[in-house]
Amino acid sequence: MIHVWRPPVNEAVWNHCLPWLERATDFGMWTTDHYLSSILSGHMALWLVEDGVTVDDPETETKGCFVTEFRETSKGRVLWLEAVGGNPCTFKKAWNAVRDNLDRFAAENGCVFIELQGRPGLLKMCKGFDHTYVTMRRPVNVQRQ
């Protein structure tokens, strides 16, 4: 079973995610140090994507992680995915669970859109997102495609 959740961030969790986030920063505007300080200050959130019976099960395998933040725009609040990282093959299989959790979280927090930027390969996985360049936007609470 796929679990998408926001763990308390400690050194072990951060070090586990760091290689994926470092790869994501190769394409972005921020460093992993920026992400860590923003997560610890509560401005951003770190999410884990795991496959297992429960998140506490020692057999649970982490498939990937991502960082989010809220952005206020003149068109409404946006849930922005800052960095997405993980094993491409297994993370792709978990994407529907990720999207469902993001839709629910965004709606609960008054967001009108979910947006992300990423490598062109993400376009194949992120159906239902419109994109300009490699920025993708999805209205909150749309039917899955």
Write the pLDDT tens digit of every residue in 47-97.
999 887 766 777 888 888 999 999 999 999 999 998 888 877 777 778 888
Rounded to an integer, what distance in angstroms lies between the CA atom of residue 79 and that of residue 35?
16
Confidence (pTM): 0.81
Task: Locate 47 and state its tokens.
Answer: 């999410």
Please say if the pLDDT value at position 27 is more than 80: no
Count of other CB atoms within 10 angstroms of residue 19? 12
Domain 2-139 has CATH 3.40.190.10: no
Q: Which amino acid is at 69?
A: E
Domain ranges of the chain: 2-139
